[in-house]
Amino acid sequence: MFIGHLPGAYLVFRTATPNVGKAVFAAAMLGAIAPDLDMLWFYLVDDRAHHHHAYLTHRPVLWAGIMLAGLIAGLRWPQAGRVVAFFGAGGLVHMALDSIVGEITWLWPLSNFSHPLVTVEATHSHWILSFLNHWTFVVEIGITVLAAILFFSGGNRSARTG
């Protein structure tokens, strides 16, 4: 996904948890984009030697672990636990969205198997052009338009403060 992580997560969390507090909702949104912070490592350190989906930040077990840690912490510190749990859940939404055209190893560390739901063939001179001209990008645009409609129609005002 190029543009769909934040809008996709917005749709998921705004519709599934409409009354969640602003801090918790913000944590979910940050979690939804956090896995792609590995692009800094990919370009600045790794010199594109490994696909960024091979990094730990794109392992669902990491985000499930963060979510579980938040749920456990929430037993003692409810608000902090919710923030951490929703951050992890946002990362899991990112993994689900990446699984459409990307290779995510859902069973790692037990298995390195990964296979996208849809394969984007190299139809253009640059891989980005192949993705932007594939039908799945139309789905991303649709997700983004739906999220914008929900946001601008007042769906963003339903979150409580806190």
Rounded-to-10 torsion of CA 155, 98, 74, 14: 10
Residue 73 has pLDDT above 90, yes or no: yes
Buried b (16+ CB within 10 A) or exposed e, 91-115: bbbbbebbbbbbbbbbebeeeeebe
Mean pLDDT of the chain: 88
Least confident interval from 34-43, 46-55, 84-93, 131-140:
46-55
Q: Pull the structure tokens for residue 106.
A: 């859902």
List, in order, residues 6 or more apart from 55 with CB less than 8 Å away: 38, 41, 42
Q: What is the pTM of this model?
A: 0.87
What is the model's pLDDT at position 89? Answer: 98
Better pLDDT: 110 or 124: 110
159, 25 contact by CB (below 8 A): yes
2, 33 contact by CB (below 8 A): no
Model confidence band, residue 156 (pLDDT cutoffs 50, 70, 90): low
Least confident interval from 14-23, 79-88, 150-159:
150-159
Least confident interval from 3-7, 36-40, 57-61:
36-40
Give mean pLDDT, residues 124-141: 82
Residue 131's identity, in one-letter code, is: F
C-alpha 85: how far from chain center: 14
Phi, psi torsion values for 19, nearest 5 degrees:
-110, 15
What is the model's pLDDT at position 158? Answer: 47
